[in-house]
Amino acid sequence: MADVILETKNLTKEFKGFTAVNDVDLRVQRGHIHALIGPNGAGKTTCFNLLTKFLVPTSGQILFNGRDITRDKPAQIARQGIIRSFQISAVFPHLTVLQNVRIGLQRELGTSFHFWRSEGSLSSLDERAMALLDEVDLSSFADTVTADLPYGRKRALEIATTLAMEPELMLLDEPTQGMGHEDVHRVTALIKKVSQGRTILMVEHNMNVVSGICDRISVLQRGAMLAEGTYAEVSKNPQVMQAYMGTADGELEAGHA
């Protein structure tokens, strides 16, 4: 049996008679980059919100490393190593890039959000913070005020602050959304780089990104699992073609966002 880090069983979420996530069985293998894709309204973001406990499932189970976390609170989920990028993104636009990552690292000191702590206690984190910035190619921006960063670099900073929380499983919600081609290429390469020794589950619309770096892909439609497999497998699936393109002929091409 493959080493499954995250599994859902019959995961369902209903909103006043509308079923947003319908009986979803998802299995994410340790060490994989796993994409959750689907047309608009397929239930991808709702699924992410269930996994990070920002929403409570109507029914079904969520297992992380074989442990039932269905009833755990968001903070408990994060402490176990499931970190979603926007949760700890660069929410301090007037601090520098280095200061933002340092805040993410404060958990190690047990001083999270104690902003009145001395500068000295935080400077001990500088070496680790700089190493993280180097990992995401942001070391030259360390002293830049975050608000002044280009958009693509802000997403890189989000990934750095996510890494600061030492995730075992990183959840990335449309990491290349709204980016130009150059930024998409940079962030895609960055995700591939930081995936070494980690597991990543991502929602992504850009098929070039999905086809380029993902080991496995789950396709949702109307809240239900439509297909699962490698990009080569799902891109030729007639049901997936119908859902995305309105036709079952041919195959899903990476050129289609």
**How does pLDDT run across 152-172, given as a tens digit for each residue?**
898 899 999 889 888 999 999
pLDDT top residue among 118 and 197 = 197
- Poorest-pLDDT segment among 59-63, 112-116, 140-144, 251-255: 112-116
Read off the pLDDT of each residue in 36-43 and give the average, rounded to a whole number: 90
Domain extent, residue 240, equals 4-81+168-245
**241: CATH:** 3.40.50.300
* Prediction pTM value: 0.88
**What tokens does 145 get?**
């005020």
Residue 9 resides in a domain: yes
**What tokens does 169 get?**
């499983």
Residue 161 resides in a domain: no
Confidence of residue 104 (pLDDT cuts 50, 70, 90): confident
**What tokens does 252 get?**
């899903």
Residue 32 resides in a domain: yes
Residue 110 resides in a domain: no
- Poorest-pLDDT segment among 11-20, 29-38, 107-116, 123-132: 107-116
Task: Give the number of domains in the chain.
Answer: 1
> What pLDDT score was predicted for residue 230?
94
**What tokens does 34 get?**
């796993």
Confidence of residue 257 (pLDDT cuts 50, 70, 90): very low
Q: What is the dihedral of CA 157, 159, 160, 162, to 10 degrees?
A: 130
190 contacts: CB under 8 Å, gap ≥ 6: 136, 137, 156, 159
Residue 183 resides in a domain: yes
Confidence of residue 40 (pLDDT cuts 50, 70, 90): confident
> What pLDDT score was predicted for residue 139?
96
> What pLDDT score was predicted for residue 69?
96
Read off the pLDDT of each residue in 212-221 and give the average, rounded to a whole number: 95
**What tokens does 161 get?**
């602050």
Taking the C-alpha atoms of residue 61 and residue 8, their distance in angstroms, rounded to an integer, is 6
Whether 94 has a pLDDT exceeding 70, the answer reads yes
Residue 109 resides in a domain: no
Q: Which amino acid is it at 139?
A: S
Residue 105 resides in a domain: no
Read off the pLDDT of each residue in 234-241 and give the average, rounded to a whole number: 89
Q: Is residue 241 a contact partner of residue 250, using CB atoms and an 8 Å limit?
A: yes
Count of Cβ atoms closer than 10 Å to residue 168 Cβ: 16
- Poorest-pLDDT segment among 49-53, 183-187, 240-244: 240-244
Count of Cβ atoms closer than 10 Å to residue 219 Cβ: 25
Residue 254 resides in a domain: no
